[in-house]
Amino acid sequence: MRLSLKWKFTLFLAGLLLFTIAVLSSLIMNGVARYQRNQMESSLEQLVNTAQIRVTQQYISGTRIPPQTFMNVEGQKLANELGSNSGTRVLLYGMNGQVFGDSLPMATKADVADALSFALQNKIAYLTEGDTLHYLAPLQGTDGQLGVIQFDSSLFAQNSFYQQLLHLFLYSGLGVLVISFLFGQFYMNRQAAAISRLKTETDHIRMGQYLPSPGLARKDELGELSSGIFDMSQAIKANLDAQKQFFDNISHEFKTPLTAIKANADLMQMYDDDPVMIRESSSAIAHESTRLYELVETALHLSALEKYSFDNHPEPVQIDELLEDLCLRLKGKTDKSGITLHKRLAPFIIWADRNSLTHIFLNLLDNAIKYNIQNGEITVQSRQIEQEIEIVIQDTGIGIPPEERKRIFEPFYTIHADRARQTGGTGLGLALVRQFVEKQNGTIRVEEGPDGHGSTFVVRFRAYTFE
């Protein structure tokens, strides 16, 4: 059976309150009963003491007669007197167990044989019968026990007080049960409404309707959950938007080379007898298809990087050697543009995947050349900052405006579109670089270049420490 949260809470609350009332009332009832018994006992002891004094007085005042005879002679008179003084029925027994006096001789006598035999052995004994307490105590003479005195005390007032108290607890228990049910239902209705509201929100997200704001404005765990759901909704939306943009961009980027290829293919068909035209068109087709191929490669790489942790084999890499090697590989390009390369490299070792590092720095150096000015400069340096190694690539190129610095790491984002196109740029290079850096647990940022000209790319990785 599926029990809703509302019912679970209500039943729990009702159970808890009932339990508390039951424990409390039984403690109180026990206390009351004990108090009543003590009161009763002490007032009966008092009566017995008074009676004892009166009987002793009577016993020693006259001529000495045997106890049995004394009881026979004085019993009824004493019982009447003690009865009217105490306001309870009084019975007097001789040591043979015979009744010698009864303040209410007409009333029926209770069977107190057991208690009487006890009392005849000089002990106090009592028993209750309905609303009456029969209290039997030994009476002392001058030479040992004289007989037994019995007080029949009414328990009616006590019992009815006890009953009233019991009813009070029963009714208050019932009242509490009803109230806790109502309260529990009312309170939990509100909580359950909040929860089902959150459930509706998740349904909306599932159907692609993202939330404009958190559904619940409360300062408790449900409020936190609500803002968590809202954050999740925002994140999913941003992710989907980014994917959509990526898809739009990539379609657009594919279109340019494809249009060129198609146009050149048409030209070849139209002028199939013109060898110059055929040569030019086929070379254009070759150029554009290479560009298309690279574009597809990079896009696939980027999406694979986002999805899987591709081949990643971290190892200790001597970063200065790697950078020296890359500078050497780019020498042809730098020479062509008359760019001077300065290197300030220290022998640092970092723990990373060598291929990823090659990719990262090749891209950054390539950009430093691509977006440089004629006869510009590039400086590559490395330095240690606490536990990290920082590699800085500075160029004296066209620079990146401060407001664009965050965005250049987004896929397809290009500032210098003309220049990028000329050099075959797609706007994917830095997006890929950032992915690679993050996969190697590093960080990358861009700042302005030395003296406010050009750009400075700063990449940081954890230093490799020998242990």
Nearer to ligand ADP, 83 or 429 (CB): 429
Q: And the tokens for 217?
A: 């404005």
Q: What is the DSSP string of 195-222?
A: HHHHHHHHHHHHTT---SS-S---SSHH
Residue (of 156, 162, 103, 155) closest to 127 by Cα position: 155
As measured in angstroms, the least distance from the Cβ of 449 to ligand ADP is 8
Interface ranges with ligand ADP (CB under 6 A)? 367-368, 371, 395, 397-400, 408, 413-416, 420, 425-431, 455
Q: Kindly provide the b/e burial profile for residues 79-99, where b requires at least 16 CB atoms within 10 angstroms of the residue's own CB.
A: bbbbbeebebbbbbbbbeeeb
In whole angstroms, give the CA distance from residue 171 to residue 223: 39
As measured in angstroms, the least distance from the Cβ of 431 to ligand ADP is 6
As measured in angstroms, the least distance from the Cβ of 402 to ligand ADP is 12
Nearer to ligand ADP, 133 or 357 (CB): 357
Nearer to ligand ADP, 184 or 442 (CB): 442
- Given CA atoms 154, 156, 162, 165 in this order, what sign does their dihedral have? negative
As measured in angstroms, the least distance from the Cβ of 248 to ligand ADP is 17
Nearer to ligand ADP, 75 or 429 (CB): 429
Nearer to ligand ADP, 294 or 390 (CB): 294
Grouping H, G, I as helix, E, B as strand and the rest as coil, residue 422 is: helix
As measured in angstroms, the least distance from the Cβ of 354 to ligand ADP is 21
Q: And the tokens for 449?
A: 């270049």
Nearer to ligand ADP, 133 or 364 (CB): 364
> What number of CA atoms fall less than 13 Å from residue 277's CA on the CB side?
12
As measured in angstroms, the least distance from the Cβ of 427 to ligand ADP is 4
In whole angstroms, give the CA distance from residue 44 to residue 57: 20
Nearer to ligand ADP, 90 or 327 (CB): 327
As measured in angstroms, the least distance from the Cβ of 305 to ligand ADP is 14
Q: Name the region of 223 (left: φ>0; alpha: ψ -120 to 50; beta: rest).
A: alpha
Q: Kindly provide the b/e burial profile for residues 312-348, where b requires at least 16 CB atoms within 10 angstroms of the residue's own CB.
A: eebeebebbebbeebbeebeeebeeeebebeeebeeb
